[in-house]
Amino acid sequence: MVEQARAKGWTSDEHFTVDGTLLEAWASVKSFQPQGQEEFVSAGRIPEITVNFRGEKRSNQTHESKTDPDALLARKGAGKEAKLSYSGNLLVENHHELIMSSRVWEATGIAERYAALEMLQEVPGIGRVTVGGDKGFDTADFVREGRNLHMTPHVPQNLGRRGGSAIEGRTTQHPGYGISQKNKEANRRMFWLLKTIPLLRKVRHRGTLKVDWMFTFACAAYNLVRMRNLMAAAVRAQ
């Protein structure tokens, strides 16, 4: 789909946006049990019990889902309910809002940034590009590695971060910086569509590879619909 869109001249090789969202796994929190418990049960050393999580501390370092071991406990923000999830990530070109690449990673705190860097390596050419995103991408590691990829980060300054923002004032004063911020809203709408129409709000497959396949398939379908609309607009303009 990307190659067809590029052949039509519908993609930009200069201006992009990266973003990620949590995809709820097809696994119950009751399956999130201490690691190694199965071995104890099979050896008859402890009985099988119904897990009550009230007052129990859980972490991805000490527990895992027995239903889907690849799913990790994650939350969208402070005060939000933690759920077994995957991290779905997109690289979107800003010209016609087409998805250029997608990745599903384990839902770690660094998944969005590392998935973004991996997808940015697929951008053709060697020219400098701009990349928008939310303030979670304002880290020294992401900005440094991005610049090594000839990328200018157009992400909001996270002034509350320890050590200050990694984005200097020269970048924020560029005219394209504000435009990149506006394109983030398109990504939020895109994630809403992917979660609502292909039913990816709660995935129906288990394991990173299968979830990634379904996520990629849904992104290709989104591009098909978007390209149909672009083609119809071109015909009307003639």
**Taking the mean position of all CA atoms in its chain, how far away is CA 205?**
17
Q: How do the domains of the chain map onto residue ranges?
A: 2-27+67-237
Q: Which residues of 164-199 are buried (b: 16+ CB within 10 A; e: fewer)?
A: ebbbeeebeeeeebeebbebbeebeebbeebbeebe
pTM of the model: 0.84
Which residues of 157-213 form beta strands (DSSP E)? none
Output the pLDDT for position 47.
41
Output the pLDDT for position 91.
95
Q: What gap in Å lies between CA 108 and CA 211, rounded to an integer?
A: 16
Closest to 120 measured CA to CA, from 150, 155, 88: 150
CATH topology of domain 2-27+67-237: Nucleotidyltransferase; domain 5 (3.30.420)
Which residues, 6 or more positions from 143, have their beta carbon under 8 angstroms from its beta carbon? 137, 153, 166, 167
Output the pLDDT for position 50.
37
Intervals of the chain under pLDDT 70: 36-56, 126, 184
**pLDDT tens, residue by residue, 173-218:** 777 777 777 776 777 889 999 999 999 999 999 999 999 999 999 9
**pLDDT tens, residue by residue, 59-71:** 888 889 999 999 9
